[in-house]
Structure 1
Amino acid sequence: MKPQVGTPNWLDALFSAPSNEVRDQDSLNEGEETSENWDGNDYLEEEHAEEDPEDDEAVYLSEAYRDWEKHYLRRLAMRIHRLLAAELDRSEEALFAIFVQYDANLDGRVRGDEAKQLLKAIEEVAPGSLAESSPTRKDGNISLVSLLRWYNKHTHQSSYTFSATTLLTGVLGSGMVGCDARLQGLDYLSLRKNVMGYRRIYSQLRELKEERMLSVLQDKESQNGLLETMPEYYRLLANEFQGDMELLFELFCEVDESNNLLLEERATVDPAAPDTPQVKKKKLDILGFQVQVAEQKVKKVLLGATSFLVVFNALALPFAIPKLRRFLGAPYVPMKRKAVEALFEQVLPQWAATRSGASGKGLENLRLVDFGSGDGRIVQMAAEKGMRATGYELNPYLVLWSRLRCWRSFRRAPGQGEVRWANAWSADLKDVDVVTVYGRPGDSFMQLAAKKMDQELPPHAAVVSHLFDVPGWERRLVQDVEGLKLYDFRRGRNSQPSE
């Protein structure tokens, strides 16, 4: 005969293993399965109608699964009671006790006459609580889920931080109990599809405790830090178990859609906790408005702005120098390969053939200066033709690039080639035979270049301008091929063009 509600005997039903009589009675309560040797495997092997999708009971499991589940749940129930006995009101404690009493196997359901006795016991504990609704299912059975749903919805008025139903619901939601955990107010998925995955969850829990949290638990200071992030009932739980954190982890973890454990961060306000260090703020005047900004953020913004300006200036300044009066020049625009070939295959050879006293060696040993050498392609080709070529370039990046791409050609070429990082306006043109310039209109660039060349070039020299005419040198123009305009100084000196 089962003990009455409110007597100490219910603890025996909670902590002791089920007797053979209880096992047989549980088998007989399965409905039509009246065989003396019936177990869960028999049910699985028989053909049954598909279960109602609204059914909130767990699928039937094998006997081995049931035995493991009973042992595990009894251990959890013992720990739960150790903590909750002093915290719950009498009706709540009795409700928890009588369900364990009438469901001695802890498989999550009470059937037949046992269900009727359970309803009677509930009425004794809380008179009138069954007047409007009942935890009984349509099949006449009572499950832990249906009991908790009924209790939470209709009679749960406790103001405690947590209750037996809340804690048991957490155990259900962690995937350790084989039943549907879709309880009111919780966002857990139905465990119907995941009920057989409890071994995987438990394995993940062990790995989580051993790999990720072992060092935290061993270090006292870190453990205190961890506990400060938990609500009050987690602290009570940890203090009660004195370092045995197994149940704490089980309740502290949730299950995601893939049946994986998630460590949940829970924050709470603790008056005893040390105050958070105050963030230092700085006042800034912006357009007459005072703005308070965190000092650390101001430092980061200033550091970022300074870094940006340094990098931007380092990259952009070499390309902006030609706009300055002292370093006046044209922007970098590479000459087309077709124009370079025409310069050394047609324009300069024809001019060299008409020079007075020409030795017939063509361009060999003639000295060439490239006014703004860019990537060095003219200097490179001139050296390959046997000329002594020098390029002047202000942009350090272009100087480095041209030296890298031309150094092998300079070593093998019959002539000489050199690219200088220097201002072309300071170049000495007294002994130069050919000057090449890729100028631009406006800014008086072509006029200043013409003045310098008129003053320094010898009478037998030639100037090749790409695309743009040299003002006042119309009489000297002798060739215009592929945009290459060759001006021969043997045609006489013109009057200097005005600046």
Structure 2
Amino acid sequence: MSDLVPGATPGRKRRWGLALLGIVSGTGLALSLGAAPFVAPALRRVCLPFVPASPAQVEVVLRLLKGRRGELVDIGSGDGRIVIAAAKQGFRAVGYELNPWLVWYARYKAWQEGVHHNTRFYISDLWKVDFSEYNNVVIFGVPQMMKSLEEKLQSELKSSARVVACRFSFPNWTAVRESGKGIDTAWLYDAKSFKTTGKKS
């Protein structure tokens, strides 16, 4: 008994098979390319997942940096809400984020909020960035990265810098102030303190 559809020829069946294979392959490739920016960070040694900052967390960060001015950097800036909020408070704010989709979205939101002239967003791995030019640093980290980031910032930042760590504190630094509750807790660190500690050790 023939497997062919009635009236179909072997050549036509072969062409339909190739067309179906092309569609499936193309769809798979498109999905792979679309998912790559989200999957790639998870394949790195330390994964920094995107968890949007709550309005309370944004408020805590700005409260801890009240009275400060100049350049501010958000390490792992996600959708840009900390950077945008800081720009509205007079900071020249910069965000570094590995996920290009989030960077493009953040740039759009900054334009929409009217602060695109005072904000910049870069697609970059935080471990490849020199943060020495920044006096105000914000980080939403994970426990696995805090010790390594502590060492990096201690070696790069000037003594005039202040660092705000959200959700998780640094393991060896002593915070000069703490604000917020639960997951909205943030710690403020003065570089004068940890730079001195670093020289003694």
Q: Gaps (5+ residues) in structure 1?
A: 1-274, 282-293, 350-361
CA drift of 1:329 comes to 4.2
Counterpart AA for 2:110: C
Normalized per residue, which structure has more strand? 2
Q: Given the alignment of the two structures, is residue 464 of structure 1 paired with residue 164 of structure 2, yes or no?
A: yes
- Show the counterpart of 2:176: 478
CA drift of 1:280 comes to 4.0
CA distance in 1, matches of 2:108, 2:35: 21
Contact 1:363 1:386 in 2 (8 A): no
Cα RMSD after superposing both structures: 2.5
Larger C-alpha radius of gyration, 1 or 2?
1
CA distance in 2, matches of 1:423, 1:306: 31
Provide Cα deviations, 1:91-116, integer angstroms capped at 9, x if missing partner. Answer: xxxxxxxxxxxxxxxxxxxxxxxxxx
CA distance in 1, matches of 2:135, 2:15: 63
CA distance in 1, matches of 2:59, 2:84: 12
Contact 2:178 2:186 in 1 (8 A): yes
How many residue pairs are counted as aligned between the two chains? 188
CA distance in 2, matches of 1:312, 1:342: 38
Q: Given the alignment of the two structures, is residue 367 of structure 1 paired with residue 84 of structure 2, yes or no?
A: no
Q: Gaps (5+ residues) in structure 2?
A: 1-5
CA drift of 1:377 comes to 0.9
Counterpart AA for 2:102: L
Instruction: Name the SS of the counterpart of 2:93 in structure 1.
Output: strand
Provide Cα deviations, 1:174-224, integer angstroms capped at 9, x if missing partner. Answer: xxxxxxxxxxxxxxxxxxxxxxxxxxxxxxxxxxxxxxxxxxxxxxxxxxx
CA distance in 2, matches of 1:395, 1:492: 30
Provide Cα deviations, 1:102-141, integer angstroms capped at 9, x if missing partner. Answer: xxxxxxxxxxxxxxxxxxxxxxxxxxxxxxxxxxxxxxxx
Residue of 6, 12, 15 corresponding to 1:296? 15
- Show the counterpart of 1:79: none
CA distance in 2, matches of 1:450, 1:421: 22
CA distance in 1, matches of 2:28, 2:149: 34
CA drift of 1:373 comes to 0.8
Contact 2:179 2:186 in 1 (8 A): yes
Counterpart AA for 1:418: R
Instruction: Name the SS of the counterpart of 1:409 in structure 2.
Output: coil
CA drift of 1:311 comes to 2.2
Contact 2:162 2:189 in 1 (8 A): yes
CA distance in 2, matches of 1:277, 1:309: 28
CA distance in 1, matches of 2:155, 2:47: 19
Instruction: Name the SS of the counterpart of 1:460 in structure 2.
Output: coil
How do 1:164-243 and structure 2 match up within 5 A? none
Contact 2:107 2:116 in 1 (8 A): no
Q: Given the alignment of the two structures, is residue 490 of structure 1 paired with residue 192 of structure 2, yes or no?
A: yes
- Show the counterpart of 1:279: 10
Contact 2:169 2:186 in 1 (8 A): no
Instruction: Name the SS of the counterpart of 1:309 in structure 2.
Output: helix
Contact 2:162 2:188 in 1 (8 A): yes
CA drift of 1:399 comes to 1.2
Provide Cα deviations, 1:456-486, integer angstroms capped at 9, x if missing partner. Answer: 111121211111122222xx21222121111
Distance change (3 Å), C-alpha of 1:280 and 1:492: same
Distance change (3 Å), C-alpha of 1:339 and 1:276: closer
Instruction: Name the SS of the counterpart of 1:313 in structure 2.
Output: helix
CA distance in 2, matches of 1:314, 1:458: 40
Once the two structures are aligned, what percentage of the paired residues are identical? Answer: 32
Counterpart AA for 2:25: T
Instruction: Name the SS of the counterpart of 1:380 in structure 2.
Output: helix
Which 4+ runs in 1 deviate beyond 6 A? none
- Show the counterpart of 2:61: 343
CA drift of 1:409 comes to 2.4
Counterpart AA for 2:190: D
CA drift of 1:324 comes to 3.3
Counterpart AA for 1:278: T
Counterpart AA for 1:432: Y
- Show the counterpart of 1:409: 114
CA distance in 2, matches of 1:310, 1:276: 34
How do 1:443-458 and structure 2 match up within 5 A? 445-458=145-158
The farther-off stretch of 330-339 and 403-412 is: 403-412
Q: Given the alignment of the two structures, is residue 424 of structure 1 paired with residue 126 of structure 2, yes or no?
A: yes
Instruction: Name the SS of the counterpart of 1:469 in structure 2.
Output: coil
Q: TM-score by structure 2 length?
A: 0.82
Q: Taking CA–CA contacts closer than 8 Å with sequence separation of 6 or more, which of the two structures ends up with the larger relative contact order?
A: 2
Provide Cα deviations, 1:361-416, integer angstroms capped at 9, x if missing partner. Answer: x223x21111111111111111111112111112121111111111142157xxx2
Q: TM-score by structure 1 length?
A: 0.35
Q: Given the alignment of the two structures, is residue 317 of structure 1 paired with residue 39 of structure 2, yes or no?
A: no
Distance change (3 Å), C-alpha of 1:471 and 1:300: farther
CA drift of 1:449 comes to 1.4
Counterpart AA for 1:386: G
